[in-house]
């Protein structure tokens, strides 16, 4: 009888131990799953290339399909949660710049003028929308004026990073715009309202970053709300 009691006690202890191990394993599994789906996405040590790659999947342009709306009233830049498998927000927000330029065809080249630069802190938890600035040139006065918008990470572009066109505005598209940096996550070039009137010599295209904004437009600093 005494031997049977010891056997039962040992068996009960083993059963309890097994149950405890199973519970522990279940807890670890849940903790592992929580670590993957909860919290935030660590980006503290991301390189410039990694930041740009993340932002590239989060940018949409709306109302800019073909530049047919001369007022740009419905055009906007949208920065939202990225289209990636990891939907968690970033642990550290990214500094994001949304910048607008006008590209004006002249007899000596293309004159590039900054119209507005808008700074955002983005981490992917909510949608941010930046409308096109008011006062952009339209036909007939803006018949030879294209609008360029770019979204990029970090500080404002330096002189060497500013956009340049490699073709005259009459036939220029997104592929004809070059930036001197890899920080550009997305950009869109909207053609002039009347490209047939543009007569730019592509061999003399050059940026003019210090040129004043076009008449009727508003220039805002980087922290304009």
Is 69 found in the same domain as 129? yes
- In a domain, residue 170? The reply is yes
Could you tell me if 4 and 58 lie in one domain? Answer: no
Q: What one-character-per-residue DSSP string does the chain give?
A: -HHHHHHHHHHHHHHHHHHHHHHHHHHHHHHHHHHHHSS-B--TT--HHHHHHHHHTTEEEES-SSS--TT-TT-EEEE-S-SSS--PPBSSPEEEEEEEEEEEEETTEEEEEEEEEEEEEE-SSS-EEEEPPTT---TTTTTTEEEEEEEEESSPP-GGGS-EESS-TTT--GGGEE-SSS-EEEEEEEPPS-GGG----GGG----TTSPPPTT-----TT--
pLDDT of residue 225: 35
Same domain? 112 vs 29: no
Is 151 within a domain?
yes
Indicate if 122 and 163 belong to the same structural domain: yes
Comparing 59 with 104, the larger pLDDT belongs to 59
Q: In CATH, what number is assigned to the domain containing residue 193?
A: 2.60.40
Q: How many domains are there within the chain?
A: 2
Integer Cα distance of 44 and 102 in angstroms: 35
- Domain co-membership, 26 together with 54: no
What would the mean pLDDT of 112-118 be, rounded to a whole number? 94
pLDDT score recorded for residue 140: 58
User: To the nearest whole percent, how much of the chain has pLDDT over 90?
Assistant: 43
Whether the predicted pLDDT of 162 surpasses 80: yes
147 and 92 both lie in a single domain: yes
Please write the tens of the pLDDT for every residue from 60-76: 999 876 545 556 888 99
Instruction: Mark whether 34 and 124 lie in a shared domain.
Output: no
| Same domain (yes/no): 59, 123 | yes
More confident residue, 88 or 118: 118
- pTM higher than the cut 0.85: no
**pLDDT tier, 36 (very low <50, low <70, confident <90, very high otherwise):** very low
Domain presence at residue 215: no
The reply to whether 163 falls in a domain is: yes
Is residue 124 one of the residues assigned to a domain? yes
Query: Mean of the pLDDT values across residues 151-180?
Result: 91
pLDDT at 12: 55
Claim to verify: residue 115 and residue 28 sit in the same structural domain: no
Kindly report, residue by residue over 168-217, the tens digit of the pLDDT.
Answer: 787 888 999 999 999 999 999 988 877 777 754 444 344 433 333 333 33
- Burial grade of 59 (CB within 10 A; 0-12, 13-18, 19 or more): buried
Q: Is residue 212 part of a domain?
A: no
89 assigned to some structural domain = yes
Residues 6+ apart with CB under 8 A from 181: 152, 157, 160, 161
Q: Is residue 25 a part of any domain in this protein? A: yes
Residues 63 and 24 in one domain: no
Residue 156 sits in the same domain as residue 66: yes
Q: Is the pLDDT of residue 54 over 90?
A: yes
Domain span holding position 20: 1-38
């Amino acid at each position: 009888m005494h031997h049977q009691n010891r056997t039962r006690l040992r068996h009960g202890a083993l059963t309890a131990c097994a149950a405890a191990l199973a519970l522990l394993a279940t807890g670890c599994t849940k903790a592992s799953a929580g670590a993957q789906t909860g919290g935030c996405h660590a980006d503290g040590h991301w390189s410039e290339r990694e930041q740009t790659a993340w932002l590239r999947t989060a940018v949409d342009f709306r109302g800019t399909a073909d530049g047919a709306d001369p007022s740009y009233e419905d055009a906007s830049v949208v920065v939202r949660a990225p289209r990636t498998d990891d939907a968690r927000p970033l642990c550290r927000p990214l500094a994001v710049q949304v910048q607008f330029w006008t590209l004006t065809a002249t007899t000596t080249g293309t004159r590039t003028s900054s119209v507005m630069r808008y700074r955002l802190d983005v981490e992917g938890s909510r949608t941010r929308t930046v409308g096109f600035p008011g006062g952009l040139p339209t036909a007939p006065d803006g018949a030879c004026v294209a609008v360029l918008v770019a979204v990029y990470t970090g500080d404002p572009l330096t002189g060497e990073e500013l956009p340049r066109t490699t073709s005259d505005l009459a036939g220029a598209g997104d592929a004809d715009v070059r930036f001197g940096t890899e920080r550009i996550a997305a950009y869109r070039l909207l053609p002039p309202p009347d490209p047939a009137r543009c007569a730019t010599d592509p061999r003399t295209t050059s940026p003019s970053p210090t040129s004043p904004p076009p008449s009727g437009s508003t220039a805002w600093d980087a922290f304009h709300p």
